[in-house]
Structures are given as C-alpha cells and as structure tokens.
Amino acid sequence: MEGVGDESASAASPVNKWIFDMSRLYQYYLDKTTPLSVPRWVGTLALVIVYALRVYYIQGFYIISYGLGIYILNLLIGFLSPLTDPEMEASSGALLPTKGSDEFKPFIRRLPEFKFWYSFTKAFCIAFVMTFFSAFDVPVFWPILLCYWIVLFVLTMRRQIAHMIKYKYVPFNIGKQRYGGKKPSASSSGRKD
C-alpha cells in the first residue's frame, strides 16, 4: 500500500515543481515592473483598447462591461481613499493636520497604485477572456446600463470629493509643494581650478 502513495506523489511532484517555478518567474517579472509605472499603464491602456474594440465589433457582452465598470469604480474609490478614515479617527481625537503647526502625516492610500494597476489589468484580462464564451453574452439594453453606471459614477465621485474637501486631503501630487535636494555647489562638483 505504501508504494501506491509514493508513485502518485512522485508523479505529481514535477507538475508541482513546474507550477512553483512558473509562479516564481511570474512574480519576478511582476516585481521588476513595480518602478515602471508609465510603461505599465501604457500596456494596460493597450489592453483596454483591445477589449473595447472586441466588445464594439461583437456588439455584445455589455453585462460583462457593466460589471467591469462597477469593479473599476470600486477600485477607484479605494485608490482615492486614505488608509485610515478621518471620520473614524474623529471620535478618537486623531485627525489629519489642518494647520501648519500640526504634525505632518503623508497621504497613504487604502489601495496603493501598484495594487490598483494590477487589479485593474487583471479585471480587463478576465473580462477579455469572458468575451470568448457565449454563455456570458446576456442580451441587455446597453443604454440603460450605461446611464445607470454614469449616474452611479457621478454620485460616488461627488461623495468622495466632498469627503476630500471636508477632511482636507488631496490624493494626488498635483499642486503639492516639492522639496528638492541640495544642489551641488561648484566646489563639490569635483572641478579644480
């Protein structure tokens, strides 16, 4: 009886090793793309265009696109929200700084940019694969879905922007003061006169 278990374990071991090696290779390349935000988003934009063209030419899969839109709206809310909600901290007394004399607290996102990009891209890949299966092509009147999504987007963003204004946080670097490092002087540049 012991021989039967050993044979199945040795037969499954090369498959498990291959899966482990592929997952490590995938993680390696994913880690190498972490500092390259612009090329990552350009690649994702290309994927979004391919998906949009596929849905446009097939004239179907609108329910998948609607679900994808709702999911991306959810990701966007996480990306724009702070890690700790100021409404919850108001009761404990810890607030975001409002005056120059307050302690500086950097804006930390609930969903970091890399995870936002990764989830965004993975969602489009899954939606693209789903367009190859006719079971997901549910006939719907797409203008109603589009109008409902636009209303949902406007209401959600209005609430999020009101939250940003109320608690005085900006989730973007636009308009924030930048501090440059020390500029090298002529004497420290290595020139000798």
- With bands split at pLDDT 50, 70 and 90, how would you rate the model's confidence at 95? low
Is 126 a residue whose pLDDT tops 80?
A: yes
The span from the CA of 19 to the CA of 16, in Å, is 5
Range with the poorest average pLDDT among 75-84, 92-101, 123-132? 92-101
Is 178 a residue whose pLDDT tops 70?
A: no
pTM: 0.71
User: What does the angle CA 162 – CA 80 – CA 177 come to, to the nearest 5 degrees?
Assistant: 90
Q: How far is CA 13 from CA 4, 7, 20, 25, in A?
A: 14, 10, 10, 18
- With bands split at pLDDT 50, 70 and 90, how would you rate the model's confidence at 193? very low
pLDDT for res 89: 65
Question: Exposed, middle or buried, 56 (CB in 10 Å: 0-12/13-18/19+)?
Answer: exposed
Q: Which residue has the higher pLDDT, 105 or 19?
A: 19
φ, ψ at 109 (rounded to 5°)? -75, 150
- 45-68 pLDDT, tens digit per residue, is 999 999 999 999 998 889 999 999
Is 96 a residue whose pLDDT tops 60?
A: no
- With bands split at pLDDT 50, 70 and 90, how would you rate the model's confidence at 175? low
